[in-house]
């Protein structure tokens, strides 16, 4: 499903009534799969619920509903399956915290042995379950090139258990285990894992990053991923109002700012090489615009402000812009 490179009124909406029906997002379709039904117990403004709904609906559309999902322990699993209810309208298995990739690999192996390779497998989990405790099994899945699309919903901390720091927590962010105290408040600089790049280092068929700020981009990447066989990885930035200390209605806006500052680069890679990037839509947004909207960075804007830290964060954004070539091409 190819989306034209349109820039027009309402291109931020899922529906975009100015596009032909077949070019609209899956979410705009009244007959969309509705894989993640309403009534689940997520927080107001939860980026992960939004991201998971879009990803799974796109995956269901791409596979004609022939999909099995394996879900790591975490917010998504907890708020969707409070026994005796489930929000999932897809074959769904909750694994453990650290083994969703391995369990998904097992499902794929079984389907292969049964001659049912028409049924596709999606493994999913939060950043904790993907970047930290599930990292070994994720790498194993990548290394074996198991036929699984693994999706990481990254809200940059262990939100389910009370906002503790993970290997995906960005520098300077306050979490309950990296408090805003002392001379270097928040999460230290120089730590953390860039899992999309680690996935690329495994040279798996397809790696992409996306956010909940652009549903059509996210859906397109899910469709693209489903066109490949083998191990694929999708890393989706999903703001968490509670954990980030942001307003619930700012979830999408924050995701967009993360992209527009360069802090969250959007790109696709195949077999270890970047093949496409999404350039910034306009001049880069200074990181302070993004940081100031989140109370997890409030300590940077106290008296006196930590302009040194903000500058260090800006340096990270600038490095991403340079590394991925995200600059807007000036009009000729």
> Which positions lie near another protein, rule CB under 8 A?
65-68, 70-71, 77-78, 80-84, 86, 88-96, 98-99, 102-115, 119, 136-137, 139-140, 143-144, 146
Q: Is 28 helix (H, G, I), strand (E, B) or coil?
A: helix
Query: Whole-number minimum distance, CB 222 to another protein, in Å?
Result: 17
Query: Whole-number minimum distance, CB 244 to another protein, in Å?
Result: 24
Query: In the complex with another protein, which residue's Cβ is closer, 105 or 209?
Result: 105
Closest CA to 175 of 222, 103, 242, 254: 242
Query: Whole-number minimum distance, CB 193 to another protein, in Å?
Result: 17
Rounded to a whole number of angstroms, the CA Rg of the chain reads 19
Query: In the complex with another protein, which residue's Cβ is closer, 112 or 253?
Result: 112
Phi/psi of residue 265, nearest 5 degrees: -75, 140
Q: At what angle do helices 215-226 and 47-63 cross, to 10 degrees?
A: 40
Query: In the complex with another protein, which residue's Cβ is closer, 26 or 266?
Result: 26
Query: In the complex with another protein, which residue's Cβ is closer, 123 or 186?
Result: 123
Tokens of 57: 């609906």
- Taking the C-alpha atoms of residue 311 and residue 202, their distance in angstroms, rounded to an integer, is 32
Query: Whole-number minimum distance, CB 201 to another protein, in Å?
Result: 16
Give strand pairing partners of 73.
none
Query: Whole-number minimum distance, CB 165 to another protein, in Å?
Result: 22
DSSP state of 276: E
Query: Whole-number minimum distance, CB 103 to another protein, in Å?
Result: 4
Query: In the complex with another protein, which residue's Cβ is closer, 53 or 216?
Result: 53
Query: Whole-number minimum distance, CB 138 to another protein, in Å?
Result: 10
173-177-183-187 Cα dihedral, nearest 10 degrees: -30
Query: In the complex with another protein, which residue's Cβ is closer, 80 or 169?
Result: 80
Query: In the complex with another protein, which residue's Cβ is closer, 33 or 170?
Result: 33
- Taking the C-alpha atoms of residue 114 and residue 58, their distance in angstroms, rounded to an integer, is 25
- Taking the C-alpha atoms of residue 267 and residue 298, their distance in angstroms, rounded to an integer, is 29
Tokens of 323: 């590394």
Q: At what angle do helices 100-113 and 135-144 cross, to 10 degrees?
A: 30
- Taking the C-alpha atoms of residue 235 and residue 92, their distance in angstroms, rounded to an integer, is 20
Query: Whole-number minimum distance, CB 40 to another protein, in Å?
Result: 12
Query: In the complex with another protein, which residue's Cβ is closer, 28 or 109?
Result: 109
CA-angle at 52, arms to 111 and 266, nearest 5°: 100
Query: In the complex with another protein, which residue's Cβ is closer, 65 or 171?
Result: 65
Query: Whole-number minimum distance, CB 132 to another protein, in Å?
Result: 14
- Taking the C-alpha atoms of residue 188 and residue 24, their distance in angstroms, rounded to an integer, is 42
The residues, any chain, with a CB within 8 Å of residue 330's CB and separated by 6 or more, are: none
């Amino acid at each position: 499903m190819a989306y034209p490179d349109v820039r027009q009124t309402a291109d931020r909406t899922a529906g975009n009534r100015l596009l032909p029906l077949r070019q609209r997002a899956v979410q705009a379709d009244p007959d969309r799969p509705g894989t993640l039904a309403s009534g689940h117990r997520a927080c107001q403004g939860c980026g992960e619920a939004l991201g998971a709904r879009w990803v799974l609906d796109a995956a269901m559309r791409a596979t004609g509903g022939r999909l099995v999902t394996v879900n790591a322990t975490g917010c998504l699993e907890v708020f969707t399956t409070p026994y005796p209810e489930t929000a999932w309208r897809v074959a769904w298995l909750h694994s453990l915290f650290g083994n969703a990739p391995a369990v998904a690999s097992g499902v794929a192996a079984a389907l292969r042995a049964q001659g049912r390779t028409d049924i596709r497998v999606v493994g999913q989990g939060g950043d904790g379950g993907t970047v930290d405790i599930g990292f070994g099994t994720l790498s194993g899945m990548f290394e074996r090139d198991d036929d699984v699309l693994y999706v990481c919903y990254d809200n940059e901390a262990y939100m389910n258990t009370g906002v503790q720091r993970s290997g995906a927590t960005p520098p300077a962010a306050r979490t309950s285990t990296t408090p805003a105290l002392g001379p270097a408040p928040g999460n230290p600089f120089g730590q953390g894992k860039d899992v999309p790049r680690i996935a690329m280092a495994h040279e798996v068929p397809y790696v992409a990053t996306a956010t909940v700020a652009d549903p059509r981009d996210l859906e397109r990447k899910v469709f693209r991923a489903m066109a490949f066989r083998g191990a694929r990885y999708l890393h989706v930035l999903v703001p968490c109002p509670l954990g980030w200390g942001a307003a619930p209605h700012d979830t999408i806006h924050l995701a967009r700012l993360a992209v527009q500052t360069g802090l969250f680069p959007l790109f696709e890679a195949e077999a270890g090489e970047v093949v496409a990037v999404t350039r910034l839509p306009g001049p880069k947004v200074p990181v302070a615009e993004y940081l100031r909207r989140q109370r997890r960075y409030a300590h940077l804007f106290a008296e006196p402000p930590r302009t040194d830290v903000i500058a260090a964060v800006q340096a990270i954004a600038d490095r991403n812009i340079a590394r991925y070539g995200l600059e807007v091409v000036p009009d000729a």
